[in-house]
Structure formats: C-alpha cells, structure tokens
Amino acid sequence: MKQTKYIFVTGGVTSSLGKGIIAASLAKLLQARGYNTTIQKFDPYINVDPGTLNPYEHGECYVTNDGAETDLDLGHYERFLNKPTSQANNVTTGRVYLSVIEKERRGEFLGKTVQVIPHITNEIKERMQLLGKSGDYDIVITEIGGTVGDIESLPYIESVRQMLWDLGEENAIVIHLTLVPYLSAAGELKTKPTQHSVKTLMESGIKADILVCRTEHELSGEIKQKLAAFCNVKSEAVIQSIDADTIYDVPNLMLEEGLDRVALKKLNLPEKSLPDLKSWNDFLHRFKNPKQTVNIGLVGKYVELQDSYKSILESFVHAGAENNVKVNVVSIHSEYITPNNINDKFKGLDGVLVAPGFGSRGIEGKVLAVKYVRENKLPFLGICLGMQMAVIEFARNVLNMQNANSTEMNDSTPYPVITFMEEQKTITDKGGTMRLGGWDCAIKSNTKAFEIYQSELINERHRHRYEFNSNYLEDFEKAGMIASGYNPETNLVEIVEIPSHPFFVAAQYHPEYKSTVANPHPLFVHFVKAAMNKKLNN
Ligand code: GLN
C-alpha cells in the first residue's frame, strides 16, 4: 500500500492567524496538482464537540453529512476542496479523553496506570492516522488548534513529535504559522516573536520545516534570510502570508510563494502538473467584478460575531459570484426589531434571510421580519429556526391562531405549530442528541423548490430538535402556505413556501453547509436572483 504523507500545521505567537485558511489553501493547491488530499482539525478544548458551545464564543457549529457537529474550519475545508468531511476530520481533547476513559472502564488497559503518555498520545496518534490509513488519500493535512506553548496543546504537540519520529523525514513535515508584526513607530517588521515561537516548538522536540508568516507588509529578502537563519529553515521555506482582500485569494498567494512546491519537495513527492485553478479563478473573477449590488438583510441574534453565521456569509459569496452580483449582507439584530422601527431597518433591502438559532431570545423580532417580507413581497429565505418562525408568523397572522408558537419557546401555547419530534421525547442530554446530518427530502413537482433544485430527491444537512406539526398542515395549505419538501420516510415537513409570493421559501435543514466554490447552493443562487429581480422592479 502506498505511504500516505502527513503535513502538520501548528500556530505560534497568537491565535486567529488563519491556520484553517492556510491549511485549506495548501490542500487546494495539492488537490489541483492531482493529489488526493484531506484536512483534519484537532482542537484542544475539553468539550467533546463544539455543539454545546455558544456561537458568540466559538463561531458557528459546522455540521457534516454524517451528522458530526464540528469546528467551523471544516466548512472552509469543504468550501475549498468541494469534498465532504466527516466526524473523523475533527477531534477534540474531550473526545480523546472520553474514548480513553471508556476504554479504561471496559478494562482494556487492565493492570496499567492510564497516563497522558502513552495512552492519550496513542489515542491522538491513532486518530491522526485514521483517514491516512483508509487508503483514500495521498496527503493528510492536520491542523492543530490553539497556539504552541499553551498547556492544553501539549499532548497534541507531543503526538506530532512522535509521528515525525515514527514516519520519518520524507513522510511527515511541520508547517508553523506565525505572525511578523509591524511596529509603525519604528517603521519595522519584527521577527523576534517568530524566533521565540519556533524555539518553543523546539523545546517540545519539533523543528519546523516551513514557516508561514502572517504579515501586513511585504517581507523583504533580508527579513526572510534572517527568519531562515534564526529559525533553522531554508529561505525558500519562509513563506509570506500577506493580508488578503478575501480568503479566496489565499491559494493563489500561496502558489506565488511556492508553499505547495516546498511542501512537496520536503515530502519527496513530484510536483506533477501546475495546479489547475481555472474554475477557481473564474469564480474569483466573477466575485471581484460584480455587475451590480443587492442588499440582503440577515436577521439573527448572534450578528455581533461574524463567525456565528460563517457558512451563510460564504454561501452568499458563492451565490453572488454565480449571479455576477455583489451581495451586501446587512446584519440586523432580531432582538431590536420592533413594529415601530422595522420600516427603517428594512429600508433598501432586496431580500431577507432569517437565520437559524436556539431559545426564545429575539424570536419575536424574527416573526416581525417574516410578517414584513410576506406582506411586502420581499424575497425571503428562512433557515431552520427561520423556517419555524415563518410557520409561526403564518399561523398567527393568516390563520388567526393567536399565540401560536413552537413548544421550544412556549410549552403551553394553544397552537403548537412547531413541536418536539416523537423520537426525541425521551432524550434529556443536550450533547449530540439533535436530528443531525444528511437526510433525504422529496420535492413536490410544480413548486418553487422543484424549480430551484430541478430534482425530486435531495439530501441536506440538519441540526434541530423541533419540527412542523403536521396536524396543522391542511389548514396551512388551504390558506396558501404549502409543504413542498418532506422526508420520504417520516413525512416530516422539510420545506415550506408561499406560491403567491415572488420568493418565500424556508427550509428545516441548513443549505449553507453544502455550498462550495465549485457548487454554489441552488437555494442561495435562486434567492439572490430573486433579490436582483426585486431590485430591478423597484
Ligand atoms: N431551535 C430550533 C430546533 O431545535 C432550530 C434549530 C436551528 O435553527 N438550527 O428545532
């Protein structure tokens, strides 16, 4: 069997340097040279998965086809590579410990003292090689979350050291991402933080093979030489990562800097052909040269942190490029929408998306938003909680079901139009207990959904506990809101729409998790198109 090669990406100096984007860009280039490449992320926190983390703190929770709740970097991996990831691509310290402790309880280490080294590190190493051993990949890139020197990263760093030792020089390398800050008072770029960070890595027995240096200003040849000399790397292996206008520029920037070539050389792999980035660059061209702009309101309660709606924002980038239009996303905090200010807040919008979410904070603002778009015939896309709000709004204001609600928000509502699903009723644990991942959805013909998907059966990703209460479906359909998509096995309503409205579509699933550069999601593409038409007709 062929030897899978491993690239580890560590971070130094500070967090938020964009390890995920560097890893995804390198993977993109290697893939475009003809190497089967995958990326995985190892996170040092103790949560078993990020599903229970507040989006404010950690950004969006990304969901894979197999129903894993994962770090948002996996979204970048999929958007860049156009290949699905899975639970195996995201490991946390919590998951590692859980597994080791379960093994201990089962008696698998009987007689032994269970320790960080070797038991935790062995578990990490096993997981680091899981995808590599599947035989599906030539190259596995592993991003290590956190910053070198953090206490909590130590077992991962030690596992990387052991892997380098086990696999040998040409089979595993380390890319260290650091910051080269610019001190404007001195007018100078500073290499010292990088030197210290490389030294910290050395203390753990790891010599970086490649340095990727985040910087706001070009690194001169002299600075590169200095970094090379003090950090023990070849000067060709000092790669500049200058701030870019968009994350989608980074693969080209890394190509210019030769990151992929240096990595292949270190791994003793042939360069093969130049990366084929034609369709990527077509997308970039369309993205950067829009013919017009549309304004889309994003109504949610986590709007302060951009990362909370990462996949939605990126889906608009893909769908905008596809339509040759710039999508200007206007964040609107659902908690502060009132009947008095909604006209002002929604002025100038060509479409509105009501976002996913949990709990009752901000939901009345979401209901008001739906009422506004329904009455004013503004294009509307509802996602998950956004779809549930569309159902509640219709119940209250069209069907006159006063105080209709979801039982998530009001247990004693007289009209539980959104309710807890039967198979979930026995579940009390909050971690990993939702309806998650890819589920089939059958689409009715002669509907907007069919016009969009051009398919009778689709598969989309989910993350919810509550659902449309089908006891009310007949009432809704008679009054003009129809179910155009449903799960073929359980009949659970997956898509609702209002045929008399120019574009009113809402889905129980999350289309944003499946939009990629190569495959912009049809729901977003058509929604943006509807917003363009709205603008044209104004
Ligand atoms: N809170 C809702 C539910 O659990 C919606 C979830 C979501 O928007 N992802 O069903």
**Looking at this predicted complex, what is its ipTM?**
0.97
- The secondary structure of 262-315 as a DSSP string is HHHHHTT----SPP--HHHHHHHHHHHS-SEEEEEEEEES-TTSGGGGHHHHHH
Ligand 1 centroid to residue 272 C-alpha, Å: 46
The active-site residue, picked from 61, 512, 521, 526, is 512
Each domain of the chain, given as residue ranges in start order, spans 5-281, 290-537
Question: Cα(177)–Cα(200) distance, rounded to whole angstroms?
Answer: 13
Q: How far is CA 292 from the centre of its chain?
A: 27
Ligand 1 atom 1: the closest Cα is on which residue? 358
Residues 408, 411, 412, 418, Cα dihedral to 10°: 30
pLDDT digits (tens, 9 = 90+) for 151-199: 999 999 999 999 999 999 999 999 999 999 999 998 899 999 999 999 9
Cα–Cα distances in Å, from 152 out to 43, 92, 146, 195? 9, 11, 8, 22
The two beta strands, 69-70 and 351-354, are unpaired
Ligand 1 centroid to residue 388 C-alpha, Å: 8
For the question of residue 69 being annotated catalytic, the response is: no
What is the total residue count of the chain? 538
pLDDT bin (cut points 50, 70, 90) of residue 426 is: low
Return mean pLDDT, the chain: 94
Residues with CB under 6 A from ligand 1: 356-358, 384-385, 408, 463-466
Longest pairwise C-alpha distance within the chain: 76
Q: How far is CA 200 from the centre of its chain?
A: 30
- Domain 290-537 sits in CATH at 3.40.50.880
The two beta strands, 504-507 and 380-383, are parallel
CB-based contact 419:432 (threshold 8 Å): no
In 419-459, alpha helices (H): 448-453
Which class is domain 5-281?
Answer: alpha beta
pLDDT bin (cut points 50, 70, 90) of residue 56 is: confident
Pocket test for ligand 1, best of 53, 312, 358, 493 (most atoms within 8 A of CB): 358
For the question of residue 510 being annotated catalytic, the response is: yes
Q: For residue 418, which atom of ligand 1 is closest to its CA?
A: 10
Strand partners, 70: 62
Tell me whether residue 110 is annotated as binding: no
Q: What pLDDT score does 425 carry?
A: 53
Tell me whether residue 386 is annotated as binding: yes
With 0-12 CB in 10 A as exposed, 13-18 as middle and 19+ as buried, what is 129?
Answer: middle
Q: For residue 408, which atom of ligand 1 is closest to its CA?
A: 1
- Cis before 118? omega within 30: yes
Ligand 1 centroid to residue 42 C-alpha, Å: 27
Q: What pLDDT score does 433 carry?
A: 67
Question: Cα(300)–Cα(210) distance, rounded to whole angstroms?
Answer: 41
pLDDT bin (cut points 50, 70, 90) of residue 429 is: low
The active-site residue, picked from 61, 213, 231, 384, is 384
Query: How is residue 210 annotated by DSSP?
Result: E
Tell me whether residue 409 is annotated as binding: no
For the question of residue 384 being annotated catalytic, the response is: yes
End-to-end CA distance of the chain: 63
The helix/strand/coil state of 90 is strand
Mean pLDDT of 209-234: 94
Pocket test for ligand 1, best of 63, 384, 469 (most atoms within 8 A of CB): 384
Going by C-alpha positions, the residue among 45, 29, 223, 219 that lies closest to residue 7 is: 29
Question: Cα(303)–Cα(299) distance, rounded to whole angstroms?
Answer: 8
Ligand 1 centroid to residue 390 C-alpha, Å: 13
What is the phi/psi pair of residue 188, to 5°? -135, 150
Tell me whether residue 355 is annotated as binding: no
Q: What pLDDT score does 340 carry?
A: 96
Going by C-alpha positions, the residue among 144, 137, 177, 147 that lies closest to residue 267 is: 137
CB-based contact 7:142 (threshold 8 Å): yes
**Would the pLDDT of 348 be above 70?**
yes
Ligand 1 centroid to residue 435 C-alpha, Å: 10
Q: What pLDDT score does 423 carry?
A: 58
The helix/strand/coil state of 478 is helix
Ligand 1 atom 3: the closest Cα is on which residue? 464
Q: Which helix (H) or strand (E) holds 182?
A: strand 182-183
Ligand 1 centroid to residue 92 C-alpha, Å: 24
Q: What pLDDT score does 59 carry?
A: 85
- Around Cβ 269, how many Cβ atoms within 10 Å? 16
Span of 17-21, 376-380, 512-516 with lowest mean pLDDT: 17-21
- Which amino acid is present at 284? L
**Would the pLDDT of 421 be above 90?**
no
More confident residue, 519 or 1: 519
Pocket test for ligand 1, best of 53, 309, 388 (most atoms within 8 A of CB): 388
**Would the pLDDT of 457 be above 90?**
yes
pLDDT digits (tens, 9 = 90+) for 14-31: 888 899 999 999 999 999
Q: For residue 463, which atom of ligand 1 is closest to its CA?
A: 9
Query: How is residue 73 annotated by DSSP?
Result: H
